[in-house]
Amino acid sequence: MGSRTTFRVATIGGIPIRIHVTFLIVLPFLAFSFGQSFVGAARLAGIPPERLGGPPWAWGLALAVALFASVLVHELAHSLYAVRRGGKVRGITLLMIGGVSELAAPPRSEALMALAGPATSLALGGAFIGVARLFRGELPNVSFAVFYLGQLNLWLGAFNLLPAFPMDGGRVLRGALTRRMGPVRATRIAARFGRGFAVVFAMLGFLTANVLLLLVSFVVYAGAEGEARDVELRAALGDLRVGDVASPLTSELGAGDTLLAVADRMRRERRTAYPVVGEGRVVGIVTAHAVRRVPAERRGDVLAGEVAREATLAAASDRVVDALHVLGRPGAPELVVVVDGGRPVGTLSQLDVERAIELRELEPPPVAGAAPHDAPFTRRA
């Protein structure tokens, strides 16, 4: 997630909390709609609007902010559980449709981590409703707002428990299935559930003109697809390291080389990218694409340093699956592979990875009985 679209607002327990711009866009909208439904619900509960005190939008805004605070508590439950169980959390981002805990490494039990969020929301909901009861006599308006917030939390917990992978309930489902059939098949099945729910959400969203539900359906659908693809890739790539599949470098470029020489060397060595090296360190990358953009007759006058762009580095010891996430980003069609000390040893492109997957298929199958019992990567003979 780019830093231009999110900004950091706090750090809790070492976990950075960020807010996405879409959250700020949806806040007034939520304040308005909560204000409307709050007044309506209060009337149903026998509280006349004039006894609420304060305009509906103020109640709506307070509720919207409190709801997002509740979402944050829900995400913190996931993240703090993950950290305590050996996982690594990059941060929590609050978005228009809820929160996301970004994991750098999953904890030992994904299912329990997934349960921690909804369980916290349900407990919070029950606690709010209990507190609301206490103040019912003296402060009917505050009591009603707290009651309403309690209901929102119950709803948040229950909705997230739906087995709509990658929502929390779907992760619990995948965790249960993984124990029986390994991560690849489990994810495939959980993703099927996720896509099915996404279609149902979309239909309900259309029928009730609920924009948020429509957005949730898109996010769930794309998330299910993406995670399924990711697990298949992980299975195909296994423990391969970047250094094993990169195209090795036979020579380097200096910033002072002309594009004429660069183009010549690219054709001769059949490469489409070279790191530009200065004083033993990578200072940029020149791709065939960048050379092509300079007209052929000018390539004798333009230097590699002038068309080089910032290089994205990957360590030779990095896992290929992790490097692939970086490769997928715009602006990083090829990574420069370095060993410790920053010396470049190769480049990595999508093509290198595809070739590695194909070559891996040629490996002899593992000897029967020798594979670890939950190895998802072993093929049946």
Angle ∠(32,35,39) on CA atoms, nearest 5 = 150
Q: How near is the Cβ of 207 to Zn ion at its closest, in Å?
A: 26
State the number of binding residues for Zn ion (CB under 5 A).
Answer: 3
Classify residue 199 by its DSSP letter. H
| Cα separation, 18 vs 197, whole angstroms | 28
3-state DSSP assignment of residue 273: strand
- Closest of 91, 158, 163, 153 to residue 127, by C-alpha: 153
Interaction of residue 110 with Zn ion, rule CB under 5 A:
no
Nearer to Zn ion, 42 or 97 (CB): 97
**CA pair distance 304, 2, nearest whole angstrom:** 29
Return the range that interacts with Zn ion (CB under 5 A); candidates 20-28, 160-168, 188-196, 367-375: 160-168
Q: Candidates 51-59, 138-146, 164-172, 260-268 — which segment interacts with Zn ion by CB under 5 A?
A: 164-172
The single residue listed with the structure tokens 């690219």 is 266
Interface region with Zn ion, contact rule CB under 5 A, candidates 167-175, 185-193, 208-216, 290-298: 167-175
Q: How far is the CB of 231 from Zn ion (least distance, A)?
A: 19
> Toward Zn ion, which CB reaches closer, 160 or 178?
160
CA distance 223 to 164: 10
Binding mask 58-97 for Zn ion (x = CB under 5 A): ----------------------------------------
Tokens linked to 177: 């299935």
Cα–Cα distance, 72 to 18 (Å, whole number):
10
The residues pairing with 88 across neighbouring beta strands, listed in sequence order, are 105
Question: Binder to Zn ion among 117, 150, 166, 169 (CB under 5 A)?
Answer: 117
Query: Which residue among 110, 168, 227, 334 contacts Zn ion (CB under 5 A)?
Result: 168
Closer by beta carbon to Zn ion, 18 or else 271: 18
Please report how close the Cβ of residue 188 comes to Zn ion at its closest, in angstroms: 22
- Determine how β-strand 15-20 pairs with β-strand 6-12: antiparallel
Interface residue list for Zn ion (CB under 5 A) = 117, 160, 168
